[in-house]
Amino acid sequence: MPPPALSRPLPPHPLRAGTALAGLTACLFAALPVRAQGPSLAVEDTMTTEVPEVLVRAPRVTLDEILDRVARGEARRDSLLKDQSFTATLRIMRNTAGKGTPELLAESVHKVYKKKPDLIRTVRLRVYEKYPEKDGDGMAEADFSPGMGERIVNFALQPENRRNYRFTIEDRKLLGDHLIYTLRFEPRSSLAVSEPSGRLWVDTREFVIVRQEIEFRQSPVPLFLKSIKRMVVERTRTGDFWVLSRALVRMELTIPMPRIGKTFDFGMSFTDYTINTSLPDSLFESTDRPDRANRVRVGSGKRSGS
Partner 1 sequence: MPWRTAGDSAVTDSSRATARDSSRAPADSSFDSYMHGLSDSTDTWFGATATPLDTTGLDSALAAALALPPGKQLRRTDKGFPIEFTPAPGYNRADGAQLGVGASMSRGIPGRISGRAQYTTGTKDVIGDASWDGAFRLRKSRTRLALRAAVGRWTEVADRDSYDPVVTTMASLVFGGDLHQYLRRDGWRASARWDRDRVWAALAWRDQLESSLPFTTDWALFGSQELDTNFTAAYGRVHELGITGELPVPGTRFRVQAGHWTSAPKWGSAFDYNRTLVAAGGDLSLGKHFAFVPQASYGRLHGEVLPQNPFFFGGAPNVRQLDRNEWSSAGRTFGRADLMLVDDLHELLHLPLPAWMPLHVSAFVASGAAWGRDPVTNQARPTKRDWPNSSEWLSETGLTLAWRTGIPDPTSSLRFEYTEPLGATGRTARYTVVYQQPLHLLRMR
Cβ burial of 184 (10 Å; 0-12, 13-18, 19+) is middle
In the bound complex, what is the minimum distance in angstroms from residue 275's beta carbon to partner 1? 18
The DSSP element (H or E) to which 121 belongs, if any, is strand 119-129
19/277 with CB nearer partner 1:
277
Binding mask 171-190 for partner 1 (x = CB under 8 A): xxxxxxxx-x-------xxx
Q: Does 55 bind partner 1 (CB under 8 A)?
A: yes
Which residues lie below 8 Å from residue 171, measured CB to CB, with a gap of 6+? 181, 182
Contact 219, 225 (CB under 8 A): yes
In the bound complex, what is the minimum distance in angstroms from residue 11's beta carbon to partner 1? 33
Distance from C-alpha of 83 to C-alpha of 278, rounded to nearest angstrom = 7
Q: Does 274 bind partner 1 (CB under 8 A)?
A: no
Interface residue with partner 1 among 68, 82, 234, 260 (CB under 8 A) is: 234
Question: DSSP string of 161-180?
Answer: HHTTEEEEEEEEEEETTEEE
Q: Does 131 bind partner 1 (CB under 8 A)?
A: no
- Binding to partner 1 (CB under 8 A) within 74-103 occurs at 87, 89, 91, 93, 96, 102
Which one of the spans 19-27, 33-41, 65-73, 267-275 is the region binding partner 1 (CB under 8 A)? 267-275
- Binding to partner 1 (CB under 8 A) within 7-46 occurs at none
68/301 with CB nearer partner 1:
301
Distance from C-alpha of 296 to C-alpha of 33, rounded to nearest angstrom = 65
Q: Does 291 bind partner 1 (CB under 8 A)?
A: yes
In the bound complex, what is the minimum distance in angstroms from residue 185's beta carbon to partner 1? 15
How many positions of this chain bind partner 1 (CB under 8 A)?
87
Q: Does 227 bind partner 1 (CB under 8 A)?
A: yes
30/295 with CB nearer partner 1:
295
276/301 with CB nearer partner 1:
301
Which one of the spans 26-34, 37-45, 64-72, 124-132 is the region binding partner 1 (CB under 8 A)? 124-132
Distance from C-alpha of 229 to C-alpha of 221, rounded to nearest angstrom = 14
- Which among 305, 298, 207 has a CA at the least distance from the CA of 244? 298
In the bound complex, what is the minimum distance in angstroms from residue 5's beta carbon to partner 1? 20
Question: DSSP string of 271-305?
Answer: EEEEES----GGGG--------TTSEEES-S----
13/44 with CB nearer partner 1:
44
In the bound complex, what is the minimum distance in angstroms from residue 25's beta carbon to partner 1? 33
Distance from C-alpha of 200 to C-alpha of 214, rounded to nearest angstrom = 9
What phi and psi, each to the nearest 5 degrees, are found at residue 111? -100, 130
